[in-house]
Amino acid sequence: MSLLASLLWAWVALHVFSAIISAFLYARQRQPEYAAFAGVAVALGLYCAASASFTAAPTQALAARARDVQTLAGALGFAAYVLFGWVLLGRPRAVLVRAVLVASAIISTLALTGVFLDPARPMRWASQLPWAYPYRDVAPTPALLALSVVALLFGVGVLMQLGPLARRRAEARLLWIAIALTVGGWIHDVVLRVARVQGLYLTEHLSSLGGLVVSYLLLDRFVQTANALTQRTLELRHRYDELQHVQGELVKKEQLAAVGELSAVIAHEVRNPLAVLKNAVAGLRREKLGDEDRATLLQVLDEESDRLNRLVRDLLTYARPVEPQWSTIDLGELVRGALGVARKDPVVSMTNVDVEIEVDGVEGTIEGDKDLLQRVFANIVANAMQAMPEGGVLTVRGEPVEIEGGPGIAVRFMDTGEGMDTLVRARARDPFFTTKSSGTGLGLAIVERIVKAHGGTVMLQSSGQEGSTVSITLPRQRSPKD
């Protein structure tokens, strides 16, 4: 294999590599310029492969066939360059691009039929340059000469159209250089063939150099895009850090506001019983105090002390994180145990309420923290009984439900008490909100936290004078995340 043929096959390998890289980048980023350049690289690789075959052709017929493939590859390459410029720069116009694509398809078809070259007419060289290569060339037909002239004129027209844009944009300037190298090599080879001067054809080499220029164009574009993305990433990271700082400041302010609000509520809740205690102590200090009055004041001290103790206990429970200690619990046993705990409350024990428990229809057990859930049920039972000071009926009913596609249970506490109006029902879950003289307002807030820790929900239903229904929905099994 000659040195020239080896060089041409090296160009082929380079163009194939460029086509593969461009196709990969297009598959990753879906940028049309990569697909267009892949077409350019494939056409240049085909042209160089045909040139290598032409250079080493042992017969006139094989040389003519290689020249036909050159013509086909040249038509495809010219169309690919035009399409690449249109995708990258918007030049030339879309109408002209479509015309070039149609013409390229027609020329490629004619080249495969062999109408542009006649193997029976070998080139008769009139002169020879010192660096000439002994090609087995074929004399061009008038059709090929006409096609070459038209293509060269069109190429010069494209260069003239890109000229003004090339003065303003680096991308257009590099594309102009690539096309100029290809057109220059083509002019050189056409002149040699028309003048029948044996020399060294340059189109395949100069067009390959033009392909390298376009590769650099895309590489530079890729680097600029990567740098822009890096800069944007740094800006976003800076903005994110600023946002985190602002969010941190907002959280601190919200925490301070929450602490201030909580402090005000606690101060209010503590100040009232303290005022009562102070007045009771002042009364006990009087010298002339009857036994009955003394007993009344001592009872006031007991009640207000118990109230403060309940407030502190509920505050600690509300502030402490809820961490269930999971175990298997029988629902009927849990409800009956909660009823027994609720009846120990002095206020509840004085009520005349009938309790109906209907949980036998719910078979099986649930997973949860027995102590926490008993506290939930006991709190709801106590509230229901306190809402029926004149007596009534409390029905506790269990029924199977589905929670997020899994099995669960719903325990409904239905009383026949006073009920809640819309305003009370809307605020019932708020910490420190209570309608009872001796309540802390934390009971239902604690209930909701415990139920949520078990993956369940709390629902309130009530209308004035028709009683209330509190529904606790719990999954039968603990979530894998717990």
The predicted-structure confidence for 276-316, as pLDDT tens digits, reads as follows 888 888 888 887 788 888 888 888 888 778 777 877 777 77
Q: Is the pLDDT reported for residue 132 higher than 90?
A: no
Phi-psi region of 277 (alpha: psi -120 to 50; beta: other; left: phi over 0): alpha
Compute the CA torsion angle 156, 159, 160, 163 (nearest 10 deg): -160
pLDDT category, 479, cuts 50, 70, 90?
A: confident
- Name which of 314, 261, 294 is nearest 436 in CA terms: 314
**Residue 437: predicted pLDDT:** 60
Helices (H), 345-440: 346-349, 370-386, 422-427
Q: Is the pLDDT reported for residue 439 higher than 70?
A: no
**Residue 259: predicted pLDDT:** 64
**Residue 86: predicted pLDDT:** 85
Average pLDDT over residues 117-134: 86
Residue 440 or 1, more confident:
1
**Residue 100: predicted pLDDT:** 83
Q: Are 181 and 190 in contact (CB under 8 A)?
A: no
Q: Are 232 and 39 in contact (CB under 8 A)?
A: no
Average pLDDT over residues 397-417: 87
Average pLDDT over residues 198-222: 89
Q: Are 451 and 376 in contact (CB under 8 A)?
A: yes
Element (H, E) at 77: helix 60-89
pLDDT category, 432, cuts 50, 70, 90?
A: low
**Tens digit of pLDDT for each residue in 250-262?**
877 876 775 666 6
Q: Is the pLDDT reported for residue 46 higher than 90?
A: yes
Q: Round to whole Å and give the CA distance between 40 and 78.
A: 8
Within 10 angstroms of residue 130's Cβ, the number of other Cβ atoms is: 5
**Residue 330: predicted pLDDT:** 87
**Residue 43: predicted pLDDT:** 93
**Residue 9: predicted pLDDT:** 93
Q: Is the pLDDT reported for residue 168 higher than 90?
A: no
Average pLDDT over residues 171-197: 89
Q: Round to whole Å and give the CA distance between 404 and 417.
A: 33
Q: Round to whole Å and give the CA distance between 342 and 303.
A: 18
Residue 135 or 307, more confident:
135
**310-to-35, 273, 345 alpha-carbon distances in Å:** 75, 12, 12
Q: Is the pLDDT reported for residue 421 higher than 80?
A: no
pLDDT category, 112, cuts 50, 70, 90?
A: confident
Average pLDDT over residues 200-211: 92
pLDDT category, 10, cuts 50, 70, 90?
A: very high
**Tens digit of pLDDT for each residue in 230-249?**
999 999 999 999 998 898 88
Q: Round to whole Å and give the CA distance between 254 and 44.
A: 67
Average pLDDT over residues 6-32: 90
Q: Is the pLDDT reported for residue 92 higher than 70?
A: no
**Residue 292: predicted pLDDT:** 84
pLDDT category, 213, cuts 50, 70, 90?
A: very high
Average pLDDT over residues 121-130: 87
User: Can you tell me which residue has the tokens 């940028």?
Assistant: 31
Q: Are 366 and 476 in contact (CB under 8 A)?
A: yes
pLDDT category, 375, cuts 50, 70, 90?
A: confident
Q: Round to whole Å and give the CA distance between 36 and 18.
A: 12
- Radius of gyration of the chain, Cα coordinates, nearest whole angstrom: 46
User: What domains can you pick out in the chain, each with its CATH number?
Assistant: 3-235 (1.20.1070.10), 327-475 (3.30.565.10)
Q: Is the pLDDT reported for residue 481 higher than 70?
A: no
- Rounded to the nearest 5°, which phi and psi values hold at 71? -60, -45
**Residue 125: predicted pLDDT:** 86
Q: Is the pLDDT reported for residue 11 higher than 90?
A: yes
State the amino acid at position 324 in one-letter form: P
pLDDT category, 53, cuts 50, 70, 90?
A: very high
Residue 28 or 53, more confident:
53
**23-to-35, 82, 100, 304 alpha-carbon distances in Å:** 6, 18, 23, 82
- Cβ neighbourhood burial of 406 (10 Å; 0-12, 13-18, 19+): exposed
**Residue 428: predicted pLDDT:** 72
Residue 289 or 454, more confident:
454
State the amino acid at position 230 in one-letter form: T
**Residue 115: predicted pLDDT:** 83
**Residue 387: predicted pLDDT:** 81
User: Length of the chain in residues, anyone?
Assistant: 482
Taking all residues of the chain, what is their mean pLDDT, rounded to a whole number? 84
**Residue 438: predicted pLDDT:** 59
Q: Is the pLDDT reported for residue 436 higher than 70?
A: no
Pairing of strands 365-368, 392-403: unpaired
